[in-house]
Structure 1
Amino acid sequence: MTLKGKLEDYTEDEFLALITELYENRAGRRGTELESFRDRIISNFKKITEHPDGADVLTRPPAGSDKSPQGVINRIKEWRAANGKPGFKPA
């Protein structure tokens, strides 16, 4: 899986697929392969989203909020819009 250097290089659907794979591990990775995959995705996520909560956006959503991959996307979109950051590229 090729990771992109900026959030605005992803369409929303591409980023949703990436977050969904992180949550669900549909590829069936195990052991060090799974650990390495998660580390790469989370490190890239923190860098490209620029969200001050970093990986907590993925692992510690606010009480009562949507904990799904789409909920993560929505929190990122809201924060970036509120802070004048570009969003996802058009589909």
Structure 2
Amino acid sequence: MRNRGVLTGEPLKNALPEYTEDEFLAILKDICTAQGTEAYQDDLLENFIEVTGHPEGSDLIYYPANGADDSPEGILETVKTWRQANGLPGFKAS
């Protein structure tokens, strides 16, 4: 079983289309505000890298491109835009 996620205690999911935007945004907010233990942060970050598939991985969070919106909402939009441009599925409906 995967580690527990944000707020609800639900297990982290194996693929981005299993998340709603709100669920994934909650994960990004926990990462960006360094909530929880180091192990919790590691689990969230590994899940982010795995499910987004974005080539920049954690750099989207910790080393964003100049001028990029590095807020949780901005990172979410970057992931959505990149996945759509690459023909990858997006988030499940809320």
Shorter-chain TM range is: 0.7 to 0.9
SS of the aligned residue for 2:29 comes to helix
In structure 2, the residue matched to 1:56 is 59
| Unmatched 5+ stretches in structure 2 | 6-10
Structure with higher helix content:
1
| Unmatched 5+ stretches in structure 1 | none
Counterparts of 2:58 and 2:50, CA distance in 1:
10
In structure 1, the residue matched to 2:16 is 7
Counterparts of 1:80 and 1:49, CA distance in 2:
8
Amino acid aligned to 1:10: Y
In structure 2, the residue matched to 1:85 is 88
What is the aligned residue count?
85
Counterparts of 1:65 and 1:53, CA distance in 2:
13
RMSD: 1.1
Q: Offset at 1:25? A: 4.1
Q: Where has structure 1 moved over 6 Å in runs of 4 or more?
A: none
Higher relative contact order (CA 8 A, sep 6+): 1
Q: Give the counterpart of 2:28 among 19, 39, 42.
A: 19
Amino acid aligned to 2:79: I
1:71 aligns with 2:74: yes
Amino acid aligned to 1:53: E
Equivalent pair of 2:18/2:92 in contact (CA under 8 Å): yes
SS of the aligned residue for 2:55 comes to coil
- Give TM-score scaled by structure 2 length: 0.84
How many percent of aligned residue pairs carry the same amino acid?
A: 42
- Give TM-score scaled by structure 1 length: 0.87
